[in-house]
Amino acid sequence: MSTFSFEVKATDGAARQGVISTPRGDIRTPAFMPVGTAATVKAMLPEMVAGTGADIILGNTYHLMLRPGAERIERLGGLHKFMNWDKPILTDSGGFQVMSLAKLRKLTEEGVEFQSHVDGSTHMLTPERSMDIQRQLGSDIVMAFDECTPFPATEDQACASMEMSMRWAERSKTAFGSRPGYALFGIVQGGIYPELRRRSAEALQQIGFDGYAVGGLAVGEGQELMFSTLDETVPALPHDRPRYLMGVGKPDDIVGAVSRGIDMFDCVLPTRSGRNGQAFTRRGPVNLKNARHADDPRPLDEASSCPASRDYSRAYLHHLVKANEILASILITWNNLAFYQDLMADLRAAIGAGRLIDFAQEFNDLYQGSDIPVWT
């Protein structure tokens, strides 16, 4: 089996264009990972997701352990076979979902005991259990188990949370063991406190990971604080490993984070927006619920290679949304994922050509995304 590796092909300021190589295929960076939380990117066939240009998708330990169960997926040949996706998969460790979804959460040094939001059953998730579940799923990139520090948090609270996550990171590394061809990423925590972020980054590098994620952002702190936290955190991460900003995000967030040296992203925004009648375009988001689209014969983007963007009128999409037709979710989600993958391709090209600053300015001038809702 070939090994996991990362190569930076070009730089432009802090931004990098590169390739993550895995036995299941290459991941071109900067990369956006569509979220397939429960072994499906909602409203999309795997072939459609791949057709938008996605090299990798994300699944989730918390949701898959609850249903259908990691043991069942393992018996059925692993997550790739189960969902008919033959490219790389990254799985989140479940730490964020335990914080945000689970009921009656009890946090101890050992891990987190919680009640399922699905049926109320009690479960225990530890670094060791998270590593075992992700091994059963067969994901190519495994995330260390951490506590996602809530926002707002005092510096003392953020420090205690971060130090817990660092101890869990070490246990995750031990439990992961030696798995050639598979990768384990550590997660930097520390809230919005620069010194805590730097301490976390240093601690993770002493443990040693195949990649480094920045967690605990996009949780309500706003873009300015997110960017200033990245300004302090990213320079503390190694140059020769991928950098992943978890749960981000809005298109203008991605452009700003790429400019600061981030390589990987995921977010539910393009798919959840697709199910709620919001389409992304180069000129900003379009709310297809609005009556002004009822007689609009224009497509979302006549220049797009995506059929959903190019071949259906806004009037038709408005009709589908108002009629609550399933096809509305399919077409708008397809458009949105194509938009995100086109944005990533444009960012890679701009970095390669040494014109990222100009591209970012042109993008932000054209795209007015400040009214996009943020879902967690």
Residue count of the chain, please give it: 376
pLDDT value of residue 95: 86
Handedness of CA 331, 45, 215, 152 (dihedral sign): positive
| Phi, psi for 108 (deg, rounded to 5) | -135, 175
- The Cα 241–Cα 298 span in angstroms is 43
The predicted structure's pLDDT at residue 374: 42
> Can you give the pLDDT at residue 196?
98
Could you list the beta-strand ranges (E) of the chain.
Answer: 5-12, 15-22, 25-29, 31-34, 57-60, 89-92, 103-107, 112-115, 122-125, 141-143, 183-188, 211-214, 243-245, 264-267, 278-281, 284-287
Interatomic CA distance for residues 73 and 169, integer angstroms: 25
The pair phi, psi for residue 11, each rounded to 5°, is -130, 155
CB crowding 303-326: b at 16 or more within 10 Å, else e: ebebebbeebebebbbebbeeeee
Catalytic residues, which ones?
92, 266
59 token code pair: 């699944």
Residue 56 has a pLDDT of 99
**pLDDT, position 376:** 29
Strands of the sheet with 141-143, listed across from one edge: 31-34, 264-267, 243-245, 211-214, 183-188, 141-143, 89-92, 57-60
Q: Please, what sign has the CA dihedral across residues 54, 344, 37, 112?
A: positive
**Rounded (10°) CA dihedral 248, 245, 91, 204:** -160
Domain parsing of the chain, residue ranges: 5-267, 274-357
CB neighbours of residue 297 within 10 Å: 8
The beta-strand segments (E) located in 144-208 are 183-188
Q: Which helix (H) or strand (E) holds 344?
A: helix 326-353
Tell me the CATH architecture of domain 5-267: Alpha-Beta Barrel (3.20)
pTM value > 0.85: yes
Task: Check residue 135 and give its pLDDT.
Answer: 98
Q: What pLDDT sits at residue 366?
A: 95
**Would the CA dihedral through 291, 297, 301, 306 be positive or negative?**
positive
Q: Are 274 and 358 in contact (CB under 8 A)?
A: no
What residues of the chain score a pLDDT lower than 50?
A: 370-371, 373-376
Strand (E) positions, 310-374?
A: none
Cβ-proximal residues to 145 (8 Å cutoff; 6+ apart), any chain: 93, 94, 95, 111, 125, 126, 127, 130, 131, 168, 169, 171, 172
